[in-house]
Chain A
Amino acid sequence: MNRASRAPLLVRLAPLGLIVVAEAAWIAIVGGLIQEYSLRAPILGVVELGAFVLLGAIAANVLARRLRPGRWAVASILIVAAGTLAGILAAPDARAALEGPGGGLAAAVARHPGGLVAGLAVFRGFRHARLPLDEDALRHLFAGGAVVAIFGSLAGTLVAEPFRDRFLSDALGQVVLFAVTAVLGLALTRQLTAELEGAERWTPNTSWLGLVAIVVAITGFAVVPASTIASPLVELAIYLLLAALLVVGALIGWTRQTVAGLIAVVVVFVVIGIFLSMSPSESADPGSIGAGGGLPTGGDGGSGASAASAIPIEVVYGLAVVLVALIVGALAWYWAQGRGLAVVAPALETRFIDRSRGNEPSRPAPGWLARLGIHLSPGDAPNAYLALIRELAGKVGVERDAAETPREHAHRLRTSGTPALGLELLAADYALARFAGERLTPREHRRGVDRWRALRLRLSARSEEIRATAAAIELEKLDRGQRFERTMTGAAQPGDAPPTDVTPHG
C-alpha cells in the first residue's frame, strides 16, 4: 500500500512540476544539439518538451495501475513512439515533407531530427509517475542531466556560427533552469519523503522553504553574471599560479614528482588548446553539412550508400528501433513496480517557537586568533574567569575538573599550594554574573581583569612546579621498580624449573 502524504495537494505536486521542467531543460539541450548539428534552428523548447514529460508521467500514472505489467510495457512503447512522432511533426517542414510527393517518415525526421527527443521526454515522464517522487531518480536526474549538459555544450562548440552561438546561449539558459528546478525539486522531494517516514503531521516549514527558495532564486539570477565575471579571474589566477609554481620549482629544485606534475599540467593545457582551436570561428555554409541530410535514407541506390555494405541500412535502423523499444518497455515495467510502504498514523504533537535560549548569556565562538592560540585581554570579569579557565586547561594540578564548580576549583587550589584568594574572588564574580544574573560594577570588572593577569602567571608557574614534582616522583618509582626487578631476576637462573604456579596442569 502506498503511503499518502498528509501535505496539501499543491505541495505534493510542486516537486513534480519542478522536475518536469528540469527534465525538459536537459532534454532541450540534447534536442538543440541535434538541431545544431543538422544546421537548423531548434523547434522544441522547454515548454513543449515539458508538456511531453508531463504527458508521460500522467500516462504512466493512469495506465500502469490499470494494465497488467506486460501490457503496460507494450503500451509504453506505443506511447513513446507516438510521442516521438508528435515531436517530429511539430515542425512545419517535417509535416510538409511527410505529406509532400516522395516524402515519408525518414524525410520528416531529416527535416526535424531534434523532434526525436520528444519520445525521450515522454519516456522520462514515466519515471515520475508516482508521488512522492523517487529520490534516487531525482539524484540520477541531477547528475545525469549535468553530465549531458556539459558534454552537450562541449560538443556544441564544434559547430560553425551562427548555430554555435545560438545553441550555447540557449543551452546556458536551459542549464540554469535545469539546475535551479532540479535542486529545488530534489529538496522538496526529500522533505516530503522524510515527512512520510516518521509520523510527521504536515507542517509547513515556511522558514526553510522561504530560505531555500530565496537561495535558489538568487543563485539562478546571479550565476550567469557570476560565471562571466569569474571566468577571466579564475583563468588569470590559474595562469599566475602556474607561473608561480614554475618560479618556486626553479628555486627549490626539480624532483621527479614535480617534473611529472609540470608535464601533466602542460598536457592538460595542450588538450584545452587543441579543443579551443577546433571551434570554427567563421560562418559555415548551411548546405555544406546537413542540407537535405541528417539521416542516410537507405543503402540501395542512395548516393551515400557503400557498395561494400553487407547489411542494409533499414535492418540497422530496425534493430536500433527494436532495441530502443525493448529498453523503453523494460524500464517502464520496472519503474511501474509498486514500492510497498507501511501506513503511519500521524502522532499527537505540540509545536511552538521557544526563543528562551536568548536568556542565556551569549558565548561567542572563538575567533581565528583564539584558534591560533592568541588570546586578547578579556573585557570584563566573567570573561576574565573564562579566559583563565581556558588557559589552565591541560595544565597539571591547576586545571578545573569537569565535575568541579568554580568555587570548588578555587577552594582546591587555595588549599593545595596556591594560598591566594584571587581565584575565589574571580570565581565569585563569574558566579554572580553567570548564575545570579547580578550586574557587576566597572570597578569590579577592572579588578577581575587584573586578577586574571596575575593568576595566569602564578597558576602557570604552580603547574610547572607540580609537573616537575610529579616527574621526580615518577622517576623515583621507576628507580624503585628497576631495583625490584633486578632483585627478582637475580634469583632465577637459566635452567631453573619454572615456579609451580605457572606449571601447566594436565
Chain B
Amino acid sequence: MRLAPTASVVLIVAGALAHVPVMMVLGLVAGIVELGHAAWERRGLRGVDYVRHLDTDRVGWGDEVGLTIEVWNRTGLPLPWVRADDDPAPGITVLDQPLVETDRIGDVLRNVWTLAPSERVFRHLRLVTDRRGVFTLGPVRLSGGDLFARPTTFEERGGIDRFIVRPRVVAAPELARPDRWGEIERARTGLSEDPSRFAGIRPWVPGDSIRRIHPRASARLRQPMVKRYEPSRDREVLIALDIQIETESSWSSAVNPDEVEALYVVAASLATSLERGHSAFGIVAAGYAHSTRKLASVAISDAPGQAGRVLDLLARLSTFPSASFERLLAIVRRSVRPGTVVIALTCREPDAFLRSFRLLERAGCHVVVLASGPDAVANARRARAAGFTARTAVLDGPWPSAGRLLVA
C-alpha cells in the first residue's frame, strides 16, 4: 500500500469524523495530486518514443559522430519533463555536454525535455572518442514527471547503437616493393616490363632502343613509334601484425596503451598507403576482434574499400594478443600463396622470429621486417644482420598528434 494515497484517505476520513475541515482540505489536495500522479503514471511514458540516430557507423579517430536523439510524445498529456539516461561506452565524450555521474550505472548521457502533447523533438549532439574501438550507446533509462512534475515512472529500453572508430591514419610513404616479372601491376621503372603484354605505342624519343620500334605503326604515322609493354611488380602484400609490445609476457598488464595505439596507427597508415599504391593487400593478427576466433584477418584483396576493411579490423582488435607471433607466422606460412610479400610489423626484437621468417622465405614468400616502437632502429639492424630486408617505421611524434609515418 502506498503511503501518499493512504495518507490522503486517512486525512479525509479523520477530518470528516473529527470535524476538522483543514484535514479534509489537505486530504482532498493530496488526493488530487495522487490522481494526477496515477493518470500520468499509467499513460505518461508509454506513449513516448525514444530513438537514437547516428550519422555514421564508422569514423576515423578524432572525427566527430553526429548523434540525433528523437523523442516524441505521442500522448495527449503534456509532460513537464522526460529524462533519458543513455549508457555510453567508456571513452565516449559528448561535446559541450558533460556526462552525469550516477550511483547505479556510472556516467550517463543525460538529456531532459519538456514536452507538449504530440510534440516531437530532435536534439543534435556530437560524440568523440579518446581511442579507436567499437563503441556502444545504450540502453536508455527513461523517467518522466507527472502533472505536478513529480517523478512517476521509470522504464529501461533496450536498443543499443554501435559505431566503430578506426585508428588514426597519418601520411605514409609508399613502400618500395621489388619489381618482378609476370605480374600485372605497373613497375616503378621500365626495367621489368612484360613483353608478352602489349600496352600500346608512343613516339620514339632519344634513348629508346631501336629494337622496340613498331615498324608498321611508324610507317602508317610517318614518324618513329616504339612499343610499350605492361610493366609488372610484386602484387600481394600481407601485413602480419605483432600485437605484443613487451617481450616477457603476453598477458602483461603493464603494457603502455599508447605504444599499442601507436603500433595500430602505423599499421593503419601502412594499409592506406598500400591501397593508394593499388596493391592487393591484407592483414593478419593474433588478437581478438569482437569474436571468439583467436585469429583476426582480412584476406588479401585489391577490391575497392580494402583499406576500410583493414581499418575496421584494426578498430576492433584487442590490445592484447591471443596467440604468439610465431604461431601466427606459422599459420601465415600455410595459408598465403608463394610470392606474397609478408610485412612483419613488430615492436619486439626479431631474434625469436628469425626461424619463422626463414621458413616463410623457404615457402616462397618475401619477408620484410618493419620495426616500430622505441627500439625500431636496433631491431631493424638485427633483422638485416640475419639476412632479411628490414626497415624502420616510426611516427614523427606521439600517436594522437603525429603528422607522418617515417619509413627508413
- The residues of A with any CB-CB pair to B shorter than 8 Å are 146, 149-150, 152-154, 157, 168, 171-172, 175-176, 179-180, 183, 186-191, 194-195, 197-200, 203, 205-208, 211-212, 215, 219, 223-224, 226-228, 230-235, 238, 269, 272, 275-276, 342, 344-345, 347-355, 357
Contact = CB atoms under 8 A, between A and B. Distances in A.
A354 B119 contact: yes
A172 B16 contact: no
Contacts of B118: 353-355, 357
- Interface of B (DSSP majority class): mixed
Contact of A205 (B11, B33, B84, B116): B116
B198 interface: no
A299 B97 CA distance: 66
A366 B29 CA distance: 30
B70 to A, nearest CB: 10
Nearest to B28: A223
B16 A190 contact: no
B96 A345 contact: yes
B145 A353 contact: no
Contact of A194 (B24, B81, B96, B116): B81
Q: Which 3 residue pairs are nearest across A and B when measured between Cβ atoms?
A: A198-B112, A208-B78, A194-B81
B72 interface: yes
A347 B110 contact: no
Contact of B32 (A195, A198, A215, A354): A215
B123 A349 contact: yes
Contact of A195 (B29, B112, B120, B150): B112
A187 B96 contact: no
Contacts of B32: 215, 219
Given A149-B22, A150-B23, A238-B13, A198 B148 contact: no
B149 A351 contact: no
Contact of A234 (B16, B80, B125): B16
Contacts of B145: 190-191, 194
B114 A234 contact: no
B149 A227 contact: no
Contact of B80 (A208, A235, A349): A208
B121 A351 contact: yes
A150 B23 CA distance: 6
Contacts of B150: 187, 190
A191 to B, nearest CB: 5
Contact of B81 (A171, A191, A233, A349): A191
Given A350-B122, A357-B74, A150 B26 contact: yes
Given A197-B100, A227-B21, A191 B83 contact: no
Given A190-B145, A191-B145, A215-B147, A353 B115 contact: no
A203 B100 contact: no
Candidate in B16, B25, B33, B148 with the most chain A CB atoms within 10 angstroms = B25
A283 B28 CA distance: 32
A405 B3 CA distance: 46
Given A194-B149, A208-B116, A215-B36, A276 B19 contact: yes
A149 B29 CA distance: 14
A108 B113 CA distance: 54
B18 to A, nearest CB: 6
B277 interface: no
B29 A223 contact: yes
Interface in B144-190: 145, 147-150
A231 B16 contact: yes
B22 A150 contact: yes
A195 B121 contact: no
Interface residues of B, number: 54
A272 B17 contact: yes
Nearest to A198: B112
A153 B80 contact: no
B18 A226 contact: no
A153 B150 CA distance: 28
Given A219-B28, A235-B17, A357-B74, 9 more contacts: A153-B22, A179-B29, A191-B80, A197-B83, A205-B116, A207-B117, A231-B24, A354-B118, A354-B119
A427 B298 CA distance: 49
B98 interface: yes
A235 B18 CA distance: 9
Contacts of B111: 198-200, 347
A212 B25 CA distance: 18
A197 to B, nearest CB: 5
Nearest to B100: A197
Nearest to B79: A208
A357 B72 CA distance: 11
A231 B113 CA distance: 41
A233 B28 CA distance: 14
Interface string B200-211: 000000000000
Contacts of B81: 190-191, 194-195
B124 interface: yes
Nearest to B110: A198
A291 B149 CA distance: 49
Contacts of B352: none
B148 A186 contact: yes
A348 B120 contact: no
Contacts of A187: 80, 147-150
A200 B121 CA distance: 11
B398 to A, nearest CB: 29
Nearest to B95: A345
A226 B22 contact: no
Contacts of A205: 78, 80, 114-116
Contacts of B122: 349-351
Contacts of B26: 146, 149-150, 175, 179
A193 to B, nearest CB: 9
A168 B100 CA distance: 49
